[in-house]
Structure 1
């Protein structure tokens, strides 16, 4: 089984992000997991988990604050002692259900906020961690391409699918995630020669604060599927828009 030794997960204080951290620890027992959060008051479960696991490092980071990325990368590089990282999970996301639901409600500031978190942050954080992803891939060059070397998972959504959009609305969320999908496809082509794989992934309709109580699956079911997809990630699936259940989603 491919084992990522050093992992970075954003938006890890609740929902899918927190469950990712829990299952990553159990399944892979990595050397280090760096899990970001914004507000200590809303991150007590993550902070408690970090107090119980020496390999889990909870890091305060607002993904919109790109000026803090360099310090974050330096911290990770120091802790991993130059080993690089093997898996970057850009999980942070934003969906304002109150605005941008229809064309008449469009608000420029709200649209830009969606793009900052859902599109620009994953792109810029991947750029910031690129040197460490390259180090991770080179240090594990005997491993097949995948999470045992270096990979980036972009948590996207089926609501970003053009081919599967039959209901409209949710402009800010939809278009920012569609842009993330294109950026992820671009990255998958540009970074493959460096031994780094990239996929966008639809996590399903999950029972979280964002997904709501009517959602179809639990965070446990979602993350179990995501980790299975990551375990099987290879050059053939690189750049594909995947679902948590291992099937491909429509672009």
Structure 2
């Protein structure tokens, strides 16, 4: 199976890259910095086009939209949340997901059973709204909404779409006090990707398979 993972150079993306390669899959990991991974700035149309051209007619069986940023972790309501932080966050967490799906859609259509996995967050849930982190929460909620609508629009061409909360993971973003390791998250998410089908398309699930509240 050929899998493309955005943001594969660190954190959950890197763990997914390692885990899925160990399972014998062909993995194309991407990074904004390039290096050992294929270069992809998800916010840049030219970068998106370059990756699509490089992949040419290679089928993609699973596209994992993992690249994301959390820029407002330390902002406060009184004087924080500058407009540029909103713009940067949505460019990566929402528009970047859409452009990646859009640019690699022809490759997905070459697969016999294509899937898209969007890494969102529990912070996307409108039922769980403890306040704060307004930009990150709003962007992940938008990514969830995007995934749900893509699931509807892509169903007729046989592409399944799942949206996933990876857990509170011990990464630079999640912090050292988080609940689970990146390896636990990656193993759980890999199982979720395997289970995803047209029958479950549009699902919003935790890394361990439990349905997540919308």
TM range (shorter): over 0.9
In 2, Cα distance between the equivalents of 1:22 and 1:133?
Answer: 22
- Paired position in structure 2 for 1:26: 22
- Paired position in structure 2 for 1:214: 177
- Paired position in structure 2 for 1:62: 41
Q: Which has the larger radius of gyration?
A: 1
Cα contact 2:120–2:164 (8 A) shared by 1: yes
CA RMSD in angstroms, aligned pairs only: 1.4
Structure 1 unaligned regions, length at least 5: 48-57, 141-148
In 2, Cα distance between the equivalents of 1:231 and 1:33?
Answer: 15
Superposed CA offset, 1:147-171 (max 9, x none): xx10010000001111112x21101
- Paired position in structure 2 for 1:92: 67
- Paired position in structure 2 for 1:36: 30
Q: Kindly tell me the number of residue pairs found equivalent between the two proteins.
A: 214
- Paired position in structure 1 for 2:6: 10
After TM superposition, the structure 1 = structure 2 runs for residues 96-115 of structure 1, keeping only pairs within 5 Å, are 96-98=71-73, 100-102=75-77, 104-115=79-90
Structure 2 unaligned regions, length at least 5: none
- Paired position in structure 2 for 1:145: none
TM-score (norm 1): 0.81
Cα contact 1:198–1:239 (8 A) shared by 2: yes
- Check 1:195–1:101 CA distance in 2 against 1; reply closer, same or farther (3 A cut): farther
Q: Which runs of 4+ in 1 moved over 3 A?
A: 97-101
- Paired position in structure 2 for 1:193: 156
TM-score (norm 2): 0.95
- Check 1:230–1:196 CA distance in 2 against 1; reply closer, same or farther (3 A cut): same
Deviation at 1:107, TM superposition (A): 0.9
Deviation at 1:83, TM superposition (A): 4.2
In 2, Cα distance between the equivalents of 1:26 and 1:247?
Answer: 25
In 1, Cα distance between the equivalents of 2:7 and 2:188?
Answer: 19
In 2, Cα distance between the equivalents of 1:88 and 1:204?
Answer: 20
